Structure 1
Amino acid sequence: MKPLLGFFLIVTLLSLPYPGATQSRLPRGSHPPALTFDHFPDRLFTFVWRNWNLISAERMAALLHCESWQVRDIAQAMGLEEKKALFPAYSRQLYISLLRRNWHLLPYEQLLELTGMSEKELEFALQEDDFLFHKFGRLKPRVERLLYSQPSAEAWEKAAQIYALLDGHIHNPLPEEPRFAFIEQLSEVASTAQDSETTRSSQSGLRLIYSYFGVFGDPLLDPQSDPFPDGLLQKLAAKGVNGVWLHVVLNQLAPGGPDFPEFGDRSSERLANLQAIARRAQKYGISIYLYINEPRAMPARFFASRPDMAGISKQGLTTLCTSNKQVQNWISQSLTHVFEQVPELGGVFTITASENLTNCASHGGKAACARCSKRPYAHIIAEVNRLIADGVHRAKPSARVIAWDWGWNGHGPARDVIAELPRDVELMSVSEWGLPIERGGIETRVSEYSLSAVGPGPRALDHWAAAKERDLSTVAKVQLNSSWELSALPWLPVMDLVAQHAANLNRAGVDGYMLSWTLGSYPSPNLEIAHKFSQNPSATVEQVLDELAWERYGRQRVPLVRKAWTAFSDAFQEFPYHQKVVYNAPQQYGPSNLLFLEPTGYASTMVGFPYDDLAGWSGPYPPEVLVSQFEKVALGWKKGLDLLGEAAALPSTDEQKEKLAEDFILAKAAYLHVLSVAQQGRFLLLREQWRRSPNHFVYLHMRNLLEMEIHSALQLYSLARADSRIGFEASNQYYYLPQDLLEKIINCEHLLDALAVQAAALPMGASRE
């Protein structure tokens, strides 16, 4: 489904200075009443809790029209300790998290105050920045402006109960690591590799990856938000990476000439900063690649003076028709300009049928264009790739141009497009897509990135074969660290699956790898697996994994670690895979996802809000089967954890002990995520029984599940405090923070009390005790 493509630049197409431009209204959708969170005294207390230490007490007070000491009084009443606020120091890494956690609490005008964004910036963030409004359910909950009012005695009493409740639950958590500490850690250059030659990647085939913490602003205008500091480049090079990619918008990188005078504002500044990054990356044997998703559709007003360039229209945007010669010239010449100015670039990869409206055939609507309706689909798609390749190679013949087949013919067979591609491009396919799988008796096919399903699948194999018939090089798009099956962790220890996939790709004869999308870019041991197969293509899976386990943890631990990896891999193959599940189920949020005794009525959204929508999480799986499959994953994963625990007890060096302890935290966090999905799903199944026919048996099971969720939230709270990577993914920022796991405990305790009141009215007189 979604490659999640329309992201990164907050001030771009919609903020270009067109004559007569008017400010667009922020999207509202159906605008239903916002949820209330009755486990807090009121909305004011909820707001202070969710934003405490993210923004300062002074900023909250200004938004609430009160004094900062009044905000602090509320925080202290609930037991919150004040630390240095993360915002605005990490504003680019936090604005999505801030919007998400306040979506039901604040109206738009206060969200603008909270984030410091202008209305145009927020509009673009919601509509274009990785489809954020889609992730939020294509609706803005209706809520009144929040202003401070003196809390009642009852509210203060409930706050004191929260303080006491948490004080009773939290005992000796692991030491806390500040949020975003991983940025500083990954940015540090190892002192043992001062000679740049020792840090260069020796990989020959393409190994391309994104930044683990790439920001969603405009890094080429803000050198302080560099997504590829030296330390990260050094660490990636050590894992065999030789290419990193950046998202760019072409009309920001190159002047538009007389046809497009609006384009290219501050382009020379961006190109200078791009060159600085590219030159620095070269020290590590790494080249910079640009992600080209062009030409971007424009608002209708853009075509007032150039109607002949307009193509099809959709949702307020109109394509720059690529059958128009002026548009063709601009695409090609702008790329020539970029590569003339920054010859250090390694190349580009293209996407020509993405979710962004680009060419007239990109969304299958070419029939609405007078010019494109007369041309074959394959010719239009191939031509855009040719225009890009011509522009790049005019300036730098050795640069790589990689044509990604995402979306071609609606993700179906696309040999017709491949047959028309120019001979100076390479073809990239997502390896596992189209692979038939069966989970829990349900048959389906892979249609999104997957670690649990080992590729390559039939579509990629057929497309690579078609490319080889034309002597085109081939690239496999893979996810070796994480996928949307669980993206809230930097990598998953499913080493057997990763190694088998790498071995299969070796046999398939692909020429290079794209190792991640915006997720899954951490310089992890999983990347070493692909690197080892590249260094020794004849190696077996067993040889590669034994070698990796020995290097990372020591010889004595190899047998137990290898058994643990196999247990994790076997368990993960029970994941109830489907694109609906990977996007809508709550595995990204784990125990932080709140529970409700009454249905909220809200539908789950794409990696945004799972809510309590069990049917929406399940896709083709009956809800009972979905829950059962997550229970299988958790049960099998626990076996791997026990084996890692045994391995930790064996003697080793301090460095090996530290690595295993760190990796155990991530493995346990993964366990708690999938276990919580099973527990939440089981609770929701029982909730329906309780609402239809309440009885003592159902009550006891619901109570037990709430207590299990409290236990899971407490455990993950300790782990997330200790490791700032837990809960983070670049395109969604922090799914949750440690304090959200504490909120889940408050939430579950509130439900236990409410459920006990309801149970007390039953004939059996059931109670919480």
Structure 2
Amino acid sequence: MSNLAILPVGNAQPALPCQHFPMPYQAVIWRNWGMVPMARLAQILDCSEDQLVHAAGAMGLQPQDDLCDTWCQRGYQTIIRQNWHLLSYEQLLVAIAWTPEKLDFILREDDFFWHKLGYFKPIVDSPRYTPLNAEQARATAQLRHWLEDALAPLPPQSAAPFAFLHQRLNHAAPTPAAADGGLRMIYSYSALYGDPLLDSAADPFPDELLADYAAAGVNALWMQAVLYLLVPWFGDTPYSAQHELRIANLRQLTARLRKHGLKLMLYINEPRAMPEPFFQFHPDWRGCKDRSTDLYTLCTSLPEVREKLSQGVETLFRLVPDLGGLFCISMSENLTNCWSRSSLAKPTACPRCAQRPPADVVAEVINAINDGARRGKADADVIAWSWAWPSAWDADVLCQLPKNVKVMSVSETAVPTHVGGIDGVVSDYSISKPGPGPVASRLWDLARAQGLDVVAKTQLNNTWENSAVPYLPVPDLVEEHLQGLRAKGISNFMLSWTLGGFPGGNIRLLHHSKEELAQMDFGKAAPDILRAYRCFSDAFRHFPLHGTSQLYLAPQNYGPHNLLYDSPTDYRATMIGCPYDDLKAWRGGEHYPEDVFENEFRLLSDGWQDGLDILRRVAPAIAPTQRQCFDDLWHVAEAAYCHFRSSYLQIAFVRRRQAEDHAAMRDILHDEIALAQRLLAVMNGDSRIGFEASNHYYYTRNSIIEKIFNCQHLLATLGNNNQN
């Protein structure tokens, strides 16, 4: 296992133990069963496959390897996250059968994965198999008993993970293309993020999904790209290895989309920051350093860098003539130009760029990209995303852009919030607080005054308020947002970031009212369904949102999966990674008082349950021809409730732990067990639950059962304490 030294370590802390398993290696078996081939698990644990099967059987697991290839190809983030506190890097590489170089790339480039993991690798004692002693065997038998009790009341599993990849997901009648000819761009519900064009077998756009998008009125899909992986625009270096294969796969992909009337848009942050060894090829190009990694900009104040970048974009469009266009972020969290957000200092530490207005630097990058795209394909769509442009100079960027560039802004930015008596403001990713907001409205007006067309970036199906379901059934809120955008004359829409790409759900509100959809889907039951929708929408307004802390750090994306602890872990919550028990971070530092934060999640989940009660009452009246639509709605609504209610319970648990109220803690543990069972029942029949494209599966069937083990173990511990 050579070159492990290239893998990041960060400010490492000791790994969290899994005290609900008698032996650490049992946690490895449990979390990887059916995901990592048994031969690899045996190698990791230094045992025979017979010993492995026997150890798994003692916990109630049967041999199950048929989906391992799919998990390693499409669920590698899930595998890495679940083993982050269990396995060393060396063992982890065996589990996913990767080189250190590939893991290093994924940690850096797969949608901030290193950030999501907390910028550190926990210190682990590499677990190894050993036979159980008598006490450990008794504890293991208890695990099996808890498993049997948990599964006894549940329906049999009828939907395996990833089953949705081979199913039609949009059951509605076809929707015609937008009459205004506007952009309807979305991210693939099933696309990998990091380097999807290298492996043609991991098709980011299955034909069934493309047909669903076309039927839903979508006309463009987007995917992330790194220019040097497609075109060696800065010369023949190892960084562009296999670019020919990626281009060949991209050509095939764009041709397939064209057959469905769809175009592909690439999302680029260019030029990408590069590590120290790169600058042996171009020593003069170095700009400023990233503030959290050992990466440096390619300084775009150098005409040579801009010209090479522009030529690279031109080459890309000439090589892939069916490519529809691109959109770019110039002030990204990914370090690009020397004035972008991740530079080490403000003003920038780059001596060239420090002497220049940031608006000029940003506009030059956009224009270099646009010029290259136009030379390669005259009618390419080029969109400049205004994300993080400061109001002090955003107008100065707009006046330097040509009229063939569209300007995109996040619609809901700066919408004021008032939840639980606490004022706040939306950053982005909000459905609970509908836009459009003042920031986008102002910038769209400025852009139009310059003769530039505009695009609204929205989230119609879900957000980080809960991305574990394909869509949130809150059409009242989504319709309110869309009506506000229509009033402003918006005709171009980006419908999702990596989350929310489901080819149905709320995106149908672009073409139909909620009343029309309820009638189409549920016939005579439509009035009751509309009442349920109103309950869900009204309840969701209680989501306590300010900035991004609650979106990124609170537990609503993981729900019942997040484990509970009888004492503080002192781990900080990570962005869409692991909430741990970091209540302070969940509530935005001191922004939401603990009691308000807890109560708003209680009100949210109570109101959501009211909507579920309506659905349960109306279920017998649903006609057989409408049953598929009803089951779809029930699954997403029930799973969303489990996430929101579990978030409330986790907040309450941490607070009761602080108060040493063991009786209340035990009540919460019983409630969490019941929620885990409710979520398992939905998962058994719907492979979409828990999946999000850029994070893969947040949890697995086994990890939700592990939460039950966790709660049962804590109940036994608290019972032994015999307090309160």
Q: Given the two structures, how large is their TM-score scaled by the length of structure 1?
A: 0.89
Residue 203 of structure 1 and its aligned partner are, at CA, apart by: 6.9
Q: 1:42 to 1:651 in 2, by over 3 A?
A: closer
Question: Is structure 2 residue 77 aligned with structure 1 residue 106?
Answer: no
Per the alignment, residue 563 of structure 1 pairs with: 531
Q: Deviations over 1:418-467 (max 9, x none)?
A: 22222210000000011111111111110131110100000000000000
Q: Which amino acid aligns with 2:262?
A: I
Residue 549 of structure 1 and its aligned partner are, at CA, apart by: 0.5
Question: Is structure 2 residue 510 aligned with structure 1 residue 530?
Answer: yes
Per the alignment, residue 643 of structure 2 pairs with: 673
Residue 24 of structure 1 and its aligned partner are, at CA, apart by: 4.8
Per the alignment, residue 334 of structure 2 pairs with: 356
User: Which moves more between the two structures, 168-177 or 638-647?
Assistant: 168-177
Q: Where in structure 2 are the equivalents of 1:388-407 lying within 5 Å?
A: 388-407=369-388
Per the alignment, residue 233 of structure 2 pairs with: 256
Task: State the distance in 1 between where 2:321 and 2:88 align.
Answer: 47
Q: Which amino acid aligns with 2:611?
A: G
Q: Where in structure 2 are the equivalents of 1:439-450 lying within 5 Å?
A: 439-450=419-430
Note if contact 1:648-1:661 (Cα within 8 Å) is conserved in structure 2. no
Note if contact 1:584-1:617 (Cα within 8 Å) is conserved in structure 2. yes
Question: Is structure 2 residue 147 aligned with structure 1 residue 184?
Answer: no
Q: Deviations over 1:692-716 (max 9, x none)?
A: xxxxxx3322211111111111111
Note if contact 2:518-2:526 (Cα within 8 Å) is conserved in structure 1. yes
Unaligned runs of 5+ in 1: 1-20, 533-543, 691-697
Note if contact 1:104-1:141 (Cα within 8 Å) is conserved in structure 2. yes
SS at match of 2:428: coil
Q: Which amino acid aligns with 2:579?
A: P
Note if contact 1:413-1:459 (Cα within 8 Å) is conserved in structure 2. no
Per the alignment, residue 319 of structure 1 pairs with: 297
Q: 1:668 to 1:651 in 2, by over 3 A?
A: closer
Q: Deviations over 1:543-588 (max 9, x none)?
A: x11111111111x111111111111011000001131111111111
Residue 382 of structure 1 and its aligned partner are, at CA, apart by: 0.9
Q: Where in structure 2 are the equivalents of 1:86-97 lying within 5 Å?
A: 86-97=67-78
Identical aligned residues as a percent: 43
Per the alignment, residue 656 of structure 1 pairs with: 626
Q: Deviations over 1:462-505 (max 9, x none)?
A: 00000010111110000001100001111010010111111111
**Match for residue 477 of structure 2 among 486, 497, 501:** 497
Residue 245 of structure 1 and its aligned partner are, at CA, apart by: 0.9
Q: Deviations over 1:505-553 (max 9, x none)?
A: 1111123000000110001231110133xxxxxxxxxxx1111111111
Task: State the distance in 2 between where 1:657 and 1:305 align.
Answer: 62
Task: State the distance in 2 between where 1:44 and 1:520 align.
Answer: 36
Question: Is structure 2 residue 237 aligned with structure 1 residue 268?
Answer: no
Q: Deviations over 1:91-113 (max 9, x none)?
A: 23221111111111111111111
**Match for residue 746 of structure 1 among 682, 703, 709:** 709
Residue 222 of structure 1 and its aligned partner are, at CA, apart by: 2.2
Task: State the distance in 1 between where 2:50 and 2:239 align.
Answer: 48
Per the alignment, residue 218 of structure 1 pairs with: 195
Residue 312 of structure 1 and its aligned partner are, at CA, apart by: 1.2
Q: Given the two structures, how large is their TM-score scaled by the length of structure 2?
A: 0.95
Task: State the distance in 2 between where 1:377 and 1:74 align.
Answer: 60
Q: 1:22 to 1:222 in 2, by over 3 A?
A: closer
Residue 351 of structure 1 and its aligned partner are, at CA, apart by: 0.8
Residue 126 of structure 1 and its aligned partner are, at CA, apart by: 2.1
Task: State the distance in 2 between where 1:319 and 1:611 align.
Answer: 34
RMSD after superposition? 2.1
Residue 658 of structure 1 and its aligned partner are, at CA, apart by: 2.1
Q: Which amino acid aligns with 2:666?
A: R
Note if contact 1:334-1:391 (Cα within 8 Å) is conserved in structure 2. yes
Q: 1:420 to 1:287 in 2, by over 3 A?
A: same
Q: Deviations over 1:264-310 (max 9, x none)?
A: 54433322321221122112221111112100011122223432222
**Match for residue 618 of structure 1 among 582, 587, 592:** 587
Note if contact 1:546-1:562 (Cα within 8 Å) is conserved in structure 2. yes
Per the alignment, residue 609 of structure 1 pairs with: 578
Q: 1:611 to 1:231 in 2, by over 3 A?
A: same
Task: State the distance in 1 between where 2:251 and 2:664 align.
Answer: 61
Q: 1:412 to 1:39 in 2, by over 3 A?
A: farther
Task: State the distance in 1 between where 2:618 and 2:218 align.
Answer: 30
Task: State the distance in 2 between where 1:367 and 1:191 align.
Answer: 51
Note if contact 2:111-2:194 (Cα within 8 Å) is conserved in structure 1. no
**Match for residue 630 of structure 1 among 601, 609, 619:** 601
Task: State the distance in 1 between where 2:106 and 2:242 align.
Answer: 21
SS at match of 1:47: helix
Per the alignment, residue 324 of structure 2 pairs with: 346
Number of aligned pairs? Answer: 714
Per the alignment, residue 652 of structure 2 pairs with: 682
Note if contact 2:35-2:72 (Cα within 8 Å) is conserved in structure 1. no
SS at match of 2:222: strand
Note if contact 2:169-2:212 (Cα within 8 Å) is conserved in structure 1. no
Residue 413 of structure 1 and its aligned partner are, at CA, apart by: 6.7
Per the alignment, residue 514 of structure 1 pairs with: 494
Per the alignment, residue 8 of structure 1 pairs with: none
Residue 51 of structure 1 and its aligned partner are, at CA, apart by: 1.0
Task: State the distance in 1 between where 2:249 and 2:455 align.
Answer: 28
Note if contact 2:36-2:72 (Cα within 8 Å) is conserved in structure 1. no
Task: State the distance in 2 between where 1:638 and 1:249 align.
Answer: 44
Per the alignment, residue 641 of structure 1 pairs with: 612
Task: State the distance in 1 between where 2:263 and 2:392 align.
Answer: 32
Per the alignment, residue 9 of structure 1 pairs with: none
Task: State the distance in 1 between where 2:581 and 2:670 align.
Answer: 18
**Match for residue 705 of structure 1 among 638, 651, 668:** 668
